[in-house]
Amino acid sequence: MAFFHKVKDTFSQAGQSTVKMAKEFSETTKLNNEISEAETQINNLYLEIGYQIYVAHSADPLPEVAELIEKIHALHDKIDDNRAQIQAINAAGHCPNCGAKIKPGMAFCSGCGTKLAVEQPQPEPKPAKPMFCANCGAQVSPDASFCTSCGAPIP
């Protein structure tokens, strides 16, 4: 009988040890998640501070951030150029009668002579203030309802 009591005690101690380890793991995981969430919130605040400094000082930058603001301006220029190129590519249409490629401003198709409707160019909308996900800090489009990185709802 002593043998069975010894086996029972051994299993009991092993079970208690496993429960203790599981609790410690659970607590550690919870704390690590809280740390990660706090770090994400801090990074979002850093981004917002940076954006506010950019808005306030983009015309007359502080010496410490002048180079970074110039890089941002250059990137905005590149985006504008790329959008203009995309608009030019998409502006070339096709004749509704023969399918020939037509250029913007053409009054008649060069392939079949069909009269074309001349469309007035639409002004390009002004870029909106960049928005960031409050959960993960990823940049999201102004019309987004959910973050494409983490799936969190965007207010």
Structure tokens at 109: 């198709």
From CA 10, how far away is CA 81, in angstroms rounded?
74
Stated length of the chain: 155
Least confident window among 9-13, 34-38, 80-84: 9-13
Mean pLDDT of 21-49: 95
Contact, 113 vs 107, CB < 8 A?
no
Helix axes 2-57, 66-91, angle to 10 degrees: 80
Residue ranges of the domains in the chain? 1-57, 59-91, 93-124, 125-155
Residue 32's pLDDT band (boundaries 50, 70, 90)? Answer: very high
The kind and range of the H/E element at 94 are: strand 93-94
Q: Which pLDDT value is given to residue 103?
A: 80
Q: Which residues pair with 108 in a beta bridge?
A: 115
pLDDT, one tens digit per residue, over 37-77 is 999 999 999 999 999 988 888 888 889 888 999 999 999 99
From CA 135, how far away is CA 32, in angstroms rounded?
16
pLDDT, one tens digit per residue, over 118-147 is 666 666 666 667 788 888 888 888 888 888
The answer, yes or no, to whether residue 19 has pLDDT greater than 90, is: no
From CA 117, how far away is CA 78, in angstroms rounded?
32
